[in-house]
Amino acid sequence: MRSLREALLGFGRAKTMSFFAIVSTGFSLLALGMFALALLNLNTLIRYFESKVEIVVYIRDNADTGRVGMAVEDLGRVEGVDRVNFVSKEEALEHFRRDLGADSDLLQDLESNPVPASLNITMKPGYRDTLHVQAVAARAAELSFVEEVDYGREWLRRMDIFKHVVSVVGVISGALLSLVALVLISSAIKIAVFSRSREIFIMKIVGATNGYIRRAFLIEGVLKGTLGGALAAGGIFAITELFNRKLIPITGFTDRYYLYTVAAGALLGLLGSWISLGRYLRRI
């Protein structure tokens, strides 16, 4: 309790430095949170595009309906396949008419239906990458009544590259931003420690141990980090609400993330105080 009291008094003795430490923590975590928010929405966009991945298996007009039905059941049992829908020639032509919209009148004078029947295969989440889609497409292409298989190979390959780039950039940038946050917070607390060097020196003269001095400053660092984390959490929430209400809808964080932000601020405050104070105490 004495250490806690000393930590609280430290706010009053060095108001400017305390404010600087809190703002530095808040800014660092806010920058990290905004980057995480951007990654979250990029991943949401990727998942949306992945949900559009579909394998279209075009069937010859003379295909035996019994064999097609067996193929639907066999392909439906393949690992990663969500469902297999049979689209008849009539249904395919109707879909084509709807896609043409106002130009659908161009199909009125057709003497026969030129649109082939097809099997539309959708994959389960986690199986919509090039490797799994190609495996299913290759299996479908082996069927004797299949005319062609289309699954947007080049588009899917680019999507896989984009996912990989986002993952790598996310990990590297997150690590760098975390390091920058720790350095900023540590520097802010270091300035606060040096601004109170006379106070620490007097505490040493009157017999205070390094452990006692360290406890008070560590508690103070945790308190500053917690306030900085709360500041960052409030900023992230406000920016998310601004986008959703005034600009464009985006995917926001869960409530648990904001608690993690506050906890991260407390942890960074603790580490920053430990690093800065440890170096100073070794010098006196």
Pick from 120, 150, 180: which residue ends a domain?
150
Residue type, 241: E
Q: Indicate the pLDDT class of residue 281, thresholds 50, 70 and 90.
A: low
Domain co-membership, 274 together with 166: yes
- Cβ atoms of 68 and 86 within 8 Å: the answer is yes
User: Torsion angle of alpha carbons 36, 38, 42, 47, nearest 10°?
Assistant: 50
Number of structural domains found in the chain: 2
pLDDT at 212 over 60: yes
Higher pLDDT, 96 or 221: 221
Q: How many CB atoms lie within 10 A of CB 85?
A: 13
Q: Quick one: pLDDT at residue 192? A: 66
Could you report the per-residue pLDDT of 183-203, keeping only the tens digit for each?
A: 766 676 677 667 667 777 777
Q: Say what the pLDDT of residue 280 is.
A: 63
Q: Is position 78 within any domain? A: yes
Of 166, 171, 178, 177, nearest in space to 42 by CA? 166
Query: 3-state class of 265 per DSSP?
Result: helix
Q: Does 92 reside within a domain?
A: yes
- Sheet containing 146-150: order of strands: 81-87, 118-123, 54-59, 146-150
Reading the block at residue 183, the tokens are 């350095």
Same domain, 172 and 275: yes
Tell me the per-residue pLDDT of 100-133, one tens digit each, with 9 for 90 and over.
666 655 556 666 767 788 889 888 888 888 888 8
Position 35 scores a pLDDT of 82
Q: Are residues 166 and 275 in the same domain?
A: yes
Place of tokens 């928010």: 37
